[in-house]
């Protein structure tokens, strides 16, 4: 913290001459926002988590020890294995596990799991595993590649013996792509319609707002069910994915359009917009140069707050079996495996996607709240 | 012994990444029945000092422990929040600048006044309302019985300020802090409010601290003056002595910055703008789908005027008289409903947006509020060169750059500031940027919509000088809209006086000001040029 001395020349003189500021570099809008955002601890935590999440999503296959689609009859419903660093022979940089072996309690016939400490399962660091493509480049290396003979399931396996951790990592791609896609489409439509509605006013505004009201009045959940039902059952899973994204976008832009319209209405009353008109600027220029940058701050905040809602809707629809179809993997679809009560009791680790969704929603919300406080740096 | 004694008051604000010493070592005192005026420009710390007495500062502010505030024989700077509740509103009251926001819109006027009586004097609701009626009579609101039952939005600005004063004196305080009590009001109302405060002060033997930037008020109302600058008191004298022989350089400068001078005489006689029976009607619509009501509000009523080349025509009137609407209608920035506008023989009326475009560079505008007239997201260069780009003027990027620099030099700003953003400039500097934006297009006509009323007095004088110089250098024609007759007198050749959308008087500036023909004009002139208390 530094004490900034008040300009000793005083206002009377300083006003006549140029401001004698210490730095010649101008403070741009972004640097002002960043200066305020940095102060917000919750927002910064959110930002760090979001960046981590995006990195994990991009490099999901590299981080997955197993092929998420590979079934393994021998290891059905294996519980999560504990990571060990300290072995009999001292410290290991690459953590190892002991295979878990299922037994039967002779009295209760309950399945019990016992760690077989005699066998040490050590994955290959940066070893070769299942093949995937990263940015179009075919690759085989993984951070930890599990060996075939010795299991290394950190979050256990599901009912087909597939590795839950790998499925969770790869599933994040589809869930976040869906969220990104829906948000980009609906933000574009919403901002455009909102600005047109707010700037032109009159009849255009009147009818656009009636359309917005119609969409806002649709009962969301039954409507999703009805729309999803239209998608043919035997359609290609990838088509289903894009159709679902389209449907969600069509229903999500309306709220944003309404908010952007309000902002635009307020801004178009300001003197600088009238001044632009007075120098002879055309309508597209006024909208793109004077109104858009000033509503963008609001739009960015809405974007970060909208992503978690889309993640939740996608998981919800997929959980019910209406959304993403196998063999694609998404968090909602993974949760589908945990819908039966018996599974919950016996194999709680299949619920791990819940934690992933929770972290995602929280971190985007934290980031959005932080941004909301920071985007208006001119007000004190 | 003095009623209020402030010694070495220091207030420090802790902001995001730096601290600001808003007030440093300020000392002043007020005797019972005396009026102390604290004068200074915006940011000089005058309001902060007053709020520090009341402990009404924001959380980011800290009062230096060395400060001593003695009120009525007791040190109040160490008072807890609970003890202050006994002082605030009961023994020290405060009136604020903005009567719109300082009254709660959802409560009736009567119960708002009664609230503090019930709180501080333990009256019953009935007693309090009776006392509230007496108070409203005392502040001379017309029809006080009806006002008790009304909501703040049903009152005018002046009436609201009277209600605020009634609330302030409800508990017969010993000290009244008035923070720019008349700044938001029309000039004609201003004098009456000041007279009211003065009268109440005498009957209640109150000490009054009057915070203001208006030197005319200070001279007429106060017994002593403290001049503040950059958080310090630079001079503190009895009023008469200060106005007769100011000691400090800043005080002298402040006194010299009252708008003065006369416009240059016009040389060529050539009508450039001719407005004939211009009409602007707003359609007001309210009610729901089934009981929709409409009313036409005539904001500009068949106004005709003509302006010669190089002339400044002043448009004066109270707020709501249609001055700004007239200006914007002439520039075709809002819809006109009849009448003709002729610019150098070419008709502007009836042209659509596209057809108006060739005329835009010639007819420019400067707004009142320099904070909303510059897009915060564009740099100074982008703001000024916009008109050149959209009109295809200035040719290459380098030539445009030259013209932007030239425009900045003309308004006396450093041309090297062109990559900065508006928020880095003070109000006066921002207004210069706005003028540069207009000048860059090489206009012939400037619509000046209250360009000085958001500015401090000394800055105001500089902007007026600048406008006069530019007029001389470029043979500019001005339409100058203002409510401040002092500024108008210093700048305008002729004036028209507007009331409710109509012209009530027109003529040479000196003529109208010296021999006003209508009551309305007389009231305007008297209120602005000689506040009589």
Per-residue pLDDT of chain A (380 residues; tens, 9 = 90+): 333 333 333 333 333 333 444 344 556 777 878 888 888 888 899 999 999 999 998 888 888 888 777 777 777 777 777 777 777 777 777 777 777 777 777 787 777 777 777 777 777 777 777 777 777 788 788 787 777 677 777 777 777 778 888 888 888 888 888 889 999 999 999 999 999 999 888 888 989 999 999 998 988 788 877 877 777 777 788 888 888 888 888 888 998 999 999 999 988 888 889 888 888 888 888 888 888 888 888 888 888 888 888 888 888 888 887 777 777 788 887 887 777 767 677 777 778 888 888 898 899 888 888 888 787 766 54
> What 3-state DSSP class applies to B211?
strand
> Which positions in chain A touch B64 (Cβ < 8 Å)?
none
Which residues lie closer than 8 Å to B529 by C-beta, 6 or more apart?
A: B485, B486, B489, B513
Interface membership of A275 toward B (CB under 8 Å): yes
pLDDT value at B231 more than 80: yes
Contact A315, A333 (CB under 8 A): no
B376 CA: distance to closest CA in chain A (Å) = 8
Q: Which residues pair with B502 in a beta bridge?
A: B499
Among A4, A11, A294, whose Cβ lies nearest the Cβ of B18?
A: A4
Contact A117, A98 (CB under 8 A): yes
> Which positions in chain B touch A37 (Cβ < 8 Å)?
none
Tokens 């009211």, located at residue: B196
Distances from the Cα of B193 to the Cαs of A286, B140, B528, in angstroms?
44, 10, 14
The pLDDT value recorded for residue B287 is: 62
> Which positions in chain A touch B459 (Cβ < 8 Å)?
11-12, 15
pLDDT value at B35 more than 80: yes
B153 DSSP assignment: G
CB contact under 8 A, B458 and A11: yes
CB contact under 8 A, A1 and B19: yes
B44 CA: distance to closest CA in chain A (Å) = 9
The pLDDT value recorded for residue B37 is: 92
Among B376, B391, B425, whose Cβ lies nearest the Cβ of A378?
A: B376
Interface membership of A271 toward B (CB under 8 Å): yes
> Which positions in chain B touch A266 (Cβ < 8 Å)?
none
- Tell whether omega for the bond before A327 is within 30 degrees of 0, i.e. cis: yes
> Which positions in chain B touch A36 (Cβ < 8 Å)?
16
Which residues lie closer than 8 Å to B417 by C-beta, 6 or more apart?
A: A18, A19, B380, B408, B425
> Which positions in chain A touch B360 (Cβ < 8 Å)?
278-280
CB contact under 8 A, A270 and B20: no
pLDDT value at B39 more than 80: yes
Interface membership of A6 toward B (CB under 8 Å): yes
> Which positions in chain B touch A293 (Cβ < 8 Å)?
375, 377
CB contact under 8 A, A18 and B253: no
CB contact under 8 A, B369 and A271: yes
Among A6, A15, A274, whose Cβ lies nearest the Cβ of B231?
A: A6
3-state SS of B252-309 is: HHHHHCCCCCCCCCCCCCCEEEEEEEEEEEEEEEECCCCCCEEEEEEEEEEEEEEEEC
A45 CA: distance to closest CA in chain B (Å) = 19
Q: Which residues pair with B346 in a beta bridge?
A: B343
3-state SS of B379-431 is: CHHHHHHHHHHHCCCCCCHHHHHHHHHHHHHHCCCCHHHCCCCHHHCCHHHHH
Of the candidates A123, A120, A116, A117, the residue with the CA atom closest to the CA atom of residue A102: A116
Residue-wise DSSP of B439-503: HTT--SEEEEESTTTTS-HHHHHHHHHHHHHHHHHHT-EEEEEES-HHHHHHH-SEEEEEETTEE
Q: Which two tokens stand for residue A56?
A: 């994990």
Which residues lie closer than 8 Å to B211 by C-beta, 6 or more apart?
A: B37, B38, B46, B47, B50, B177, B178, B179, B180
The pLDDT value recorded for residue A48 is: 93
3-state SS of A237-279 is: HHHHHHHHHHHHHHHHHHHHHHHHHHHHHHHHCCHHHHHHHHC
Mutate which of B372, B388, B466 to disrupt the A interface (most A C-beta within 10 Å)?
A: B372
Among B414, B419, B458, whose Cβ lies nearest the Cβ of A18?
A: B414
Of the candidates A353, A332, A355, the residue with the CA atom closest to the CA atom of residue A175: A332
Q: Is the CA virtual torsion A326, A329, A332, A338 positive or negative?
A: positive
Element (H, E) at B218: helix B215-221
CB contact under 8 A, B386 and A27: no
Beta-carbon neighbour count of residue A128 at 10 Å?
Answer: 11
Q: Which two tokens stand for residue B141?
A: 């609101």
The residue of chain B nearest to residue A277, with distances taken between CA atoms, is B333
Measured CA to CA, the distance from residue B437 to residue B60 in angstroms comes to 37
The residue of chain A nearest to residue B385, with distances taken between CA atoms, is A279
- Of all residues in chain B, what percent carry a pLDDT higher than 90? 10
CB contact under 8 A, B428 and A15: yes
B51 CA: distance to closest CA in chain A (Å) = 18
B360 DSSP assignment: G
Contact A131, A328 (CB under 8 A): no
Distances from the Cα of B366 to the Cαs of A11, B61, B439, in angstroms?
22, 36, 10
Measured CA to CA, the distance from residue B444 to residue B447 in angstroms comes to 10
CB contact under 8 A, B434 and A275: yes
Interface membership of A21 toward B (CB under 8 Å): yes
Interface membership of A30 toward B (CB under 8 Å): no
Interface membership of A281 toward B (CB under 8 Å): yes
Of the candidates B179, B164, B187, the residue with the CA atom closest to the CA atom of residue B40: B179
B268 CA: distance to closest CA in chain A (Å) = 27
Contact B100, B160 (CB under 8 A): yes
Among A6, A36, A275, whose Cβ lies nearest the Cβ of B230?
A: A6
Among B368, B372, B377, whose Cβ lies nearest the Cβ of A293?
A: B377
The pLDDT value recorded for residue A15 is: 38
The residue of chain A nearest to residue B417, with distances taken between CA atoms, is A18
The residue of chain B nearest to residue A285, with distances taken between CA atoms, is B390
> Which positions in chain B touch A35 (Cβ < 8 Å)?
16-17
Interface membership of A289 toward B (CB under 8 Å): yes
> Which positions in chain A touch B230 (Cβ < 8 Å)?
6, 10-11
CB contact under 8 A, B434 and A378: no
> What 3-state DSSP class applies to A179?
helix
Measured CA to CA, the distance from residue B142 to residue B83 in angstroms comes to 37
Q: Which two tokens stand for residue B47?
A: 């309001």
The residue of chain A nearest to residue B369, with distances taken between CA atoms, is A271
CB pairs A-B closer than 8 Å: 132
Element (H, E) at B249: helix B249-256
Residue-wise DSSP of A81-123: PPPEEEETTEEEEEEEB--EEEEE-TTT--EEEEE-TTS-B-P
The pLDDT value recorded for residue B481 is: 92
Among A26, A270, A279, whose Cβ lies nearest the Cβ of B420?
A: A26
Residues B407-418: what's their mean pLDDT?
A: 86
pLDDT tens profile B473-523: 888 899 999 888 888 888 899 999 998 888 999 988 888 888 888 988 888
CB contact under 8 A, B375 and A19: no
Interface of A with B in 68-97 (CB under 8 A): none
pLDDT tens profile B314-345: 998 887 788 888 998 998 888 888 888 888 88
pLDDT value at B530 more than 80: no
Mutate which of A280, A284, A296, A378 to disrupt the B interface (most B C-beta within 10 Å)?
A: A280
Pairing of β B477-482 and β B232-238: unpaired
Q: How does A268-303 read in b/e, with b if 16+ C-beta sit within 10 Å?
A: bebbbbbbbbbbbbeeeebbebbbbebbbbbbbbbb
Measured CA to CA, the distance from residue B191 to residue A74 in angstroms comes to 95
Measured CA to CA, the distance from residue B208 to residue B30 in angstroms comes to 8
Which residues lie closer than 8 Å to B153 by C-beta, 6 or more apart?
A: B105
Mutate which of A15, A16, A263, A300 to disrupt the B interface (most B C-beta within 10 Å)?
A: A15
> What 3-state DSSP class applies to B156?
coil
pLDDT tens profile B255-287: 887 777 777 777 767 888 888 888 888 877 766
B375 CA: distance to closest CA in chain A (Å) = 6
A1 CA: distance to closest CA in chain B (Å) = 5
CB contact under 8 A, A26 and B379: yes
> What 3-state DSSP class applies to A334?
helix
The pLDDT value recorded for residue B286 is: 65
């Amino acid at each position: 913290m530094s004490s900034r001395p008040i300009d000793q020349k005083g206002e009377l003189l300083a006003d006549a001459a140029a401001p004698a500021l210490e730095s010649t570099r101008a403070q741009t809008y972004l640097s002002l926002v960043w200066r305020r955002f940095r102060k917000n601890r919750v927002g910064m935590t959110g930002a760090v988590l979001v960046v981590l999440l995006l990195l994990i999503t991009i490099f999901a296959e590299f981080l997955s020890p197993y092929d998420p689609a590979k079934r393994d009859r021998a290891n059905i419903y294996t519980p999560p294995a504990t990571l060990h660093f300290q072995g009999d022979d001292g410290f290991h940089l690459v953590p190892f596990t002991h295979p878990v072996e299922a037994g039967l309690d002779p009295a209760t016939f309950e399945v019990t799991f016992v760690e077989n400490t005699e066998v040490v399962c050590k994955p290959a660091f940066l070893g070769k595993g299942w093949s995937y493509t990263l940015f179009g480049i075919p690759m085989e290396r993984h951070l930890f590649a599990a060996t075939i003979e010795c299991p290394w399931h950190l979050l256990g396996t599901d009912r087909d013996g597939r590795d839950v951790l790998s499925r969770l990592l790869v599933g994040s791609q589809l869930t976040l792509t869906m969220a990104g896609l829906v948000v980009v489409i609906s933000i574009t439509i919403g901002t455009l319609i909102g600005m047109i509605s707010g700037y032109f006013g009159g009849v255009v505004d009147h009818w656009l707002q009636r359309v917005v009201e119609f969409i806002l009045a649709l009962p969301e959940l039954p409507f999703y069910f009805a729309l999803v039902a239209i998608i043919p059952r035997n359609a290609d899973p990838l088509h289903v994915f894009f159709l679902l994204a389209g449907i969600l976008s069509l229903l999500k832009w309306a709220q944003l359009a309404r908010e952007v319209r309000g902002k635009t209405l307020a801004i178009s009353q300001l003197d600088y917009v009238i001044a632009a008109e007075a120098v002879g600027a055309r309508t597209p220029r006024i909208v793109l140069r004077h109104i858009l940058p000033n509503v963008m701050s609001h739009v960015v905040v809405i974007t970060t707050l909208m992503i978690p809602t889309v993640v939740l809707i996608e998981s919800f629809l997929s959980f019910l079996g209406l959304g993403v179809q196998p063999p694609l993997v998404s968090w909602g679809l993974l949760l589908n495996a945990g819908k039966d009560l018996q599974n919950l009791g016996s194999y709680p680790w299949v619920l791990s996607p819940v934690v992933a969704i929770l972290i995602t929603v929280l971190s985007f919300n934290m980031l959005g709240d932080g941004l909301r406080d920071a985007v208006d740096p001119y007000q004190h | 012994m003095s009623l209020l004694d402030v010694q070495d008051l220091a207030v420090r604000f802790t902001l995001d990444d730096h601290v600001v010493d808003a007030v440093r070592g300020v000392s002043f005192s007020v005797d019972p029945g005396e009026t102390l005026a604290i004068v200074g420009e915006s940011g000089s710390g005058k309001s902060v000092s007053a709020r520090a007495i009341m402990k009404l500062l924001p959380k980011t502010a800290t009062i230096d422990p060395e400060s001593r505030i003695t009120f009525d024989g007791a040190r109040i700077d160490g008072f807890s929040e609970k003890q202050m509740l006994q002082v605030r509103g009961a023994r020290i009251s405060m009136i604020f600048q903005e009567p719109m926001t300082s009254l709660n819109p959802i409560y009736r006027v009567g119960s708002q006044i009664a609230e503090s009586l019930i709180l501080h004097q333990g009256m019953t609701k009935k007693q309090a309302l009776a006392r509230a009626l007496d108070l409203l009579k005392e502040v001379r609101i017309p029809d006080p019985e009806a006002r008790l039952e009304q909501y703040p939005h049903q009152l005018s600005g002046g009436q609201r300020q009277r209600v605020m004063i009634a609330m302030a004196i409800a508990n017969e305080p010993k000290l009244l802090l008035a923070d720019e009590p008349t700044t938001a009001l029309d000039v004609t109302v201003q004098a009456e409010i000041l007279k009211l405060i003065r009268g109440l002060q005498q009957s209640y033997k109150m000490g009054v601290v009057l915070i203001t930037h208006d030197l005319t008020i200070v001279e007429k109302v106060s017994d002593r003056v403290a001049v503040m600058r950059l958080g310090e008191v630079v001079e503190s004298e009895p009023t008469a002595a200060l106005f007769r022989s100011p000691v400090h350089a800043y005080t002298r400068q402040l006194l010299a910055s009252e708008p003065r001078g006369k416009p240059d005489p016009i040389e060529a006689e050539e009508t450039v703008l001719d407005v004939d029976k211009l009409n602007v009607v707003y359609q007001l619509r309210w009610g729901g789908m089934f009981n929709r009501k409409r009313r036409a509000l005539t904001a500009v009523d068949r106004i005709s005027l003509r302006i010669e080349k190089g002339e400044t025509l002043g448009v004066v009137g109270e707020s709501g008289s249609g001055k700004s609407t007239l200006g914007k209608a002439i520039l075709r920035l809002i819809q006109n409903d009849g009448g003709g506008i002729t610019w150098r023989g070419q008709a502007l009326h009836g042209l659509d947006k596209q057809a108006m475009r060739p005329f835009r560079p010639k007819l420019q505008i400067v707004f009142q509020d320099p904070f909303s007239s510059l897009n915060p997201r564009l740099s100074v260069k982008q703001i000024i060169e916009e008109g050149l780009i959209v009109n295809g003027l200035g040719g290459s990027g380098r030539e445009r750059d030259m013209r932007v620099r030239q425009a900045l030099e003309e308004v006396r700003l450093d041309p090297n500031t062109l990559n900065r953003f508006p928020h880095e400039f003070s109000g006066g500097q921002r207004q210069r940027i706005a003028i540069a934006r207009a000048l860059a297009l090489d206009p012939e006509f400037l619509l000046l919509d209250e360009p000085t009323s958001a500015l401090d007095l000394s800055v105001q004088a500089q902007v007026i000088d600048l406008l006069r110089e530019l007029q001389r250098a470029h043979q500019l024609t001005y339409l100058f809209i203002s409510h401040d007759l002092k500024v108008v007198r210093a700048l305008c050749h002729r004036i028209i006086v507007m009331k409710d959308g109509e012209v009530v008087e027109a003529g040479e500036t000196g003529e109208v000001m010296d021999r006003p023909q209508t009551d309305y004009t007389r009231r305007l002139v008297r209120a602005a040029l000689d506040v009589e208390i």
